Structure 1
């Protein structure tokens, strides 16, 4: 891994362990630390010029959100994500976000208009900067949908899986640029239905979008696995 990925900034108001955690989250979500990567607290402490204590604290935080796990005789490793993992994530999101959409259609005109304008202004082709901005708005829309439920338990469940969802977003978007354009149109279909206050159409568009995410992930995972098999 490139040392610059974990270039620790000045602490400021955040603790060192919080900064380490945030850097490791970004590295895992964006793929700089790939699945099954072994993590050494000693090596990371050297890279970041910190003691091993905040590194270990960060590992435990990462474990709590499902991004790393401890393996006997190996130590801490970045978790893998499989076809079944994504299928379960998609199934969960369909349930949670449908509940939010049913509340969103009752928002005021001004709030709904602002939300539905999230994907205005994007033009193709997408470069890396535009893709990053698009993924940020993608995340914003789905978090807003979940928060609209007003249900603290639904929001808590979503917070747990949110980083795993981000990993899938990045895995797909930076490996299949054509998928970004398709995803943009799917999100616009969701927001068009919301603008009409048509909850049924918005839920249907959401389900179609998430199913496409699942299918694209499976296709890419198969391609990555095939390429790895050829190298062996």
Structure 2
């Protein structure tokens, strides 16, 4: 997503908070965070192969993780898991995991079933159909302490079309409010038809999701928690960037 921003294939993106923060902190200066889309944190399921020897998180230290790409949420969350489990050390040569970057979800599921990788991490409800079918096995979950998705805009958009950006954020906010207002009927059916999920799972998902009431607002505290957690997990090197260096404040000032 950030690569598409760099190439100017897109002007505005909705992406995982941790990926956006990590990218800017590592020098991706072609975009800024401009708003919050989903305030609720994302729950990541931890999955292994259907016949894997792993039956709990406890045995995952020093194993191979299937990820989509380096720097992606599936990569970053592995370090957050290691931090929460106390597996990180101060020795930079002591790698907690090895990684296989496989580009897509299907390849990650195949990797754990062939024992090429030990586990992968992916959003809970997206993975649930494959848990239900028995294709892969769920052994745990992890929820980071920050909002799931934020908006990021190319710096050219911020410099030359900031009012258009604000109108776009306002329109998206109105659409999401309408979507949630209709969740008892039309929105549930829309998700079922679009993603081929069963009704029970869709209604469970609606209980967990919480869209921002102000899409142009970004919590400085949320960004600080993200930065500090990523530093602690070894994804970023200290001291990292302060929240004001991650966000374009002129967007919020237009509200």
**Taking structure 1 as the reference length, what is the TM-score of the superposition?**
0.28
**Taking structure 2 as the reference length, what is the TM-score of the superposition?**
0.26
RCO higher in 1 or 2 (8 Å CA, sep ≥ 6)?
2
Query: Which structure has more helix as a fraction of its residues?
Result: 1
